Amino acid sequence: MAIQRTFSIIKPDATKRNITGKIVAKIEEAGLRVVAQKRIRLSEEQAKGFYAEHAERPFYGELVEFMMSEPVVVQVLEGEDAIAEYRAVMGATNPADAAPGTIRAEFAQSMGENSA
């Protein structure tokens, strides 16, 4: 496998609850390395751009508002097969379907507030 990089956002529900360190620990335990990290507040333009693929979906406006509601932590992660590894450690979008030990199984409050 090749070394890959992938982008990560620790979402507002997690930053509000001050659990970003726990999420970063899960990422690192999965063998990924954080090569860049910054805490920011997304602008409307940034949130809309990042989630543009969902623009026609009924939840899009609520998602954009949520992503602007509190600061987020944006990261660049690196490692062997980093994209698949990060998806695996995040878990399913719906925390009820997320495997035990994943970020969403442990920290998500709902499908919308799913921490990562």
- Residue 114 annotated as lining a ligand binding site: yes
- Residue 39 annotated as lining a ligand binding site: no
**Packed helices 82-90 and 20-29: angle between N→C axes, nearest 10 degrees:** 130
Burial profile 63-93: b = 16 or more Cβ within 10 angstroms, e = fewer: bbebbbbebbbbbebebebbeebbeebbbbe
- Residue 59 annotated as lining a ligand binding site: yes
Please state, in angstroms and rounded to a whole number, the distance separating the CA atoms of residues 86 and 65. Answer: 25
Q: Which residues pair with 8 in a beta bridge?
A: 75
- Residue 104 annotated as lining a ligand binding site: yes
Annotated binding site for ATP: 11, 59, 87, 93, 104, 114
Binding-site residue positions: 11, 59, 87, 93, 104, 114
